[in-house]
Amino acid sequence: MSRIDDLITEHCPGGVEFKRLGDIVRIRNGKDHKTLGDGEFPVYGSGGIMRFADTYAYSKPSVLIPRKGSLGNLFFVDVPFWTVDTIFYTEIDETQIRPKFLYYFLATVGLGEMNQAGGIPSQTQSVLNELKIPVPPIEVQREIVRILDAFTELTAELTAELTARKKQYNYYRDQLLSFEEGEVEWKTLGVVTTIKTGQAVNKQIISANPGEYAVINSGREPLGFINEWNTDNDPIGITSRGAGVGSITWKDGKYFRGNLNYSVTIKSEKEIRTRYLYHALQKMQQEIQALCTFDGIPALNAGNLKELQIPIPPLTEQERIVAILDKFDALTNSISEGLPREIELRQKQYEYYRDLLLGFPKPQEVAA
User: CA dihedral defined by 171, 249, 347, 164, rounded to 10 degrees?
Assistant: 0
Cα radius of gyration rounded to whole Å, the chain: 26
Distance, CA of 108 to CA of 82 (rounded, Å) = 25
Looking at 161-170, 175-184, 295-304, which range is the least confident one?
Answer: 161-170
What b/e string do you get for 119-146 counting C-beta neighbours within 10 Å, with b at 16 or more? eebbbebeebeebebbbbeeebbebbbe
Q: How confident is the model at residue 329 (pLDDT cuts 50, 70, 90)?
A: confident
pLDDT at 334: 65
327 Cβ partners below 8 Å, 6+ apart? Answer: none
4 Cβ partners below 8 Å, 6+ apart? Answer: 140, 143, 144, 147, 357
What b/e string do you get for 12-39 counting C-beta neighbours within 10 Å, with b at 16 or more? beebbeebebeebbebeebeebeebeee
Q: What percent of the chain has pLDDT over 70?
A: 90
Q: What are 50-79's pLDDT values in tens digits?
A: 999 999 999 999 999 998 877 778 999 999
The most confident of the ranges 254-268, 325-339, 353-367 is: 254-268
β-strand 82-83 against 38-45: which pairing, if any? parallel
Q: Which amino acid is at 167?
A: K
The DSSP symbol for 247 reads: -
Say if CB 54 and CB 34 are below 8 A apart: no
pLDDT at 368: 42
pTM of the model: 0.60
Q: What are 88-111's pLDDT values in tens digits?
A: 999 999 999 999 999 999 998 888
User: Of the candidates 273, 267, 307, which has an alpha carbon nearest to the alpha carbon of residue 290?
Assistant: 307
Q: What are 187-213's pLDDT values in tens digits?
A: 999 999 999 999 999 989 999 999 999
Q: How confident is the model at residue 344 (pLDDT cuts 50, 70, 90)?
A: confident
Q: Which amino acid is at 344?
A: E
